[in-house]
Amino acid sequence: MRYLPTSDAIRRDMLAELGLNSVDVLFDHIPEYCRLQRPLNIPTGRSEAEIIAWFQQAARDNAPGFTSFLGAGAYQHFRPTHLDQLISRGEWFTAYTPYQPEISQGTLQAIFEFQTMICQLTGQEVANAGMYDGSTALLEACMMAARVTGRSGIVVARSVHPQYREVLSTLTKPREFPIAEAGFTPDGRLDLAALKAAVTAETAAVAVQSPNFFGTIEDWEAAAAIAHAQGALLVAVIAEPVSLGLLPAPAAADIVAMELQGFGIPGGFGGPYAGIIASREKFLRSLPGRLVGEARDSDGKRGFVLTLSTREQHIRREKATSNICTNQALCALMASIFMATYGRQGLRELAQQNLSKGAYLASACQKAGLEVLFPAPRFHEFAVRLRRPLAAIEARLHQEKIIPGLSLQRYYPELGNALLVCATETIPRAGLDRLAALLSEV
């Protein structure tokens, strides 16, 4: 086996040093009924060339070379080529959690910089080193709000990503956190009157997404005022980090739960991604997940360490703020390199391009006679109503190698034949025109 650095001769020699004649002896203490008495029913080892060929075939059976207008929590942005080359250095991707800071300063400094950039983007005072993704970050943010307020009620906007809401519902069920939803208005924004009615003195967290699932931009201040009037915390959910290049920072929120996939993390059929939690300094001790802090060494030099770990499971066990034991470090690193590459001007320009492409496509759809559902200001994604169900026209679009967007039938049946469409900077004008034409033809 090509990965194993031990030859049969060395094995025999090592066994001899242990005074054993067979490796089987090392497994003798496993009771016999537990031992597998046959080879695993898995083919024997294959060459690298065969493995690559197998996966290439699998890739062809997906949708290589398609133009996709899918967003809905996973956004297609150009990934600078140096990004993958940098994270492919073995010192990054084959290292583990930096428990030994003296030989992990690279990872630790990168996380410290990451935390800083997240604070700069979100207008928050502290950010953790990462969560699994946006959906679980929302859950963790709500649980954090419950710890801070001593309450358990959660009010979540119906315009928050439906799968995020499903995760929230699954993982809060055992502890019976009551969850209420607040709907949206015909202009595609959170219904503030409904929100006000739903938030009570038992509410711990009010969760609002912007741009929301329909791509519409919400008003953080208005949502915060309603939450704070009842002593609840506002959890700002952000599924598209690129939007922060242009949209106001959610500084009015108490906790930010953000998905970072849009920052250079590949779509990859849904993962791995990375989420984050950012918040106010006064809630620091309630924060879940890892944190990196500045420290001085015995010579007075600046370095970085994992810190405040008394919040975490490996120290506090059942009293920890979360059971999480990862910070998706490599995905967070991708996001860091992406942020550092685009930087102060680039992120704004990138966001501006995405805003413009979305606006152009929406206007092209309208000109082609289609109904764009929500008039409120939006980022790069919007809902459009089709004359027929998507299923009826999908084959035709696939023939043209186009994935037109996401049917909202499963999640919002009340919107009829609505399609959620996203236009990022990666799609040239001709592609936008083509989609509008095809959608209006069928």
Stretch that binds other proteins, among 131-139, 148-156, 189-197, 381-389 (CB under 8 A): 131-139
Please name which of 370, 384, 375 lies closest in space to residue 423, comparing C-alpha atoms. 384
Q: Is the peptide bond before 377 cis (omega within 30 degrees of 0)?
A: no
Half-sphere exposure of 271 (CA within 13 A, CB side): 10
Distance CA 129, CA 118 (A): 10
Residue 409 in contact with other proteins, rule: CB under 8 A: no
Stretch that binds other proteins, among 51-59, 196-204, 207-215, 367-375 (CB under 8 A): 51-59
Nearest CB to other proteins, comparing residues 108 and 232: 108
Interface with other proteins in residues 30-49 (CB under 8 A): 30-31, 33-36, 39-46, 48
Residue 269 in contact with other proteins, rule: CB under 8 A: yes
Annotate 116-148 with DSSP letters as a single string: HHHHHHHT-SEE-S-BS-HHHHHHHHHHHHHHH
Distance CA 255, CA 166 (A): 20
- Pick the binder of other proteins from 193, 202, 282, 294 (CB under 8 A): 294
Residue 101 in contact with other proteins, rule: CB under 8 A: yes
Q: Are 239 and 250 in contact (CB under 8 A)?
A: no
Distance CA 174, CA 169 (A): 10
Residue 231 in contact with other proteins, rule: CB under 8 A: no
- Give residue 29's identity as a one-letter amino acid code: H
Stretch that binds other proteins, among 22-30, 148-156, 200-208, 381-389 (CB under 8 A): 22-30
Residue 314 in contact with other proteins, rule: CB under 8 A: yes
Element (H, E) at 93: helix 90-93
Report the greatest alpha carbon distance in the chain. 83
Nearest CB to other proteins, comparing residues 316 and 367: 316
- Pick the binder of other proteins from 171, 225, 368, 438 (CB under 8 A): 171
Please name which of 358, 412, 425, 420 lies closest in space to residue 385, comparing C-alpha atoms. 420
Stretch that binds other proteins, among 148-156, 178-186, 229-237, 240-248 (CB under 8 A): 240-248
- Pick the binder of other proteins from 158, 280, 348, 385 (CB under 8 A): 348
Residue 399 in contact with other proteins, rule: CB under 8 A: no
Residue 355 in contact with other proteins, rule: CB under 8 A: yes
Nearest CB to other proteins, comparing residues 231 and 267: 267
To other proteins, the closest distance from the beta carbon of 221 in angstroms equals 11
Distance CA 159, CA 168 (A): 14
- Pick the binder of other proteins from 94, 150, 399, 414 (CB under 8 A): 94
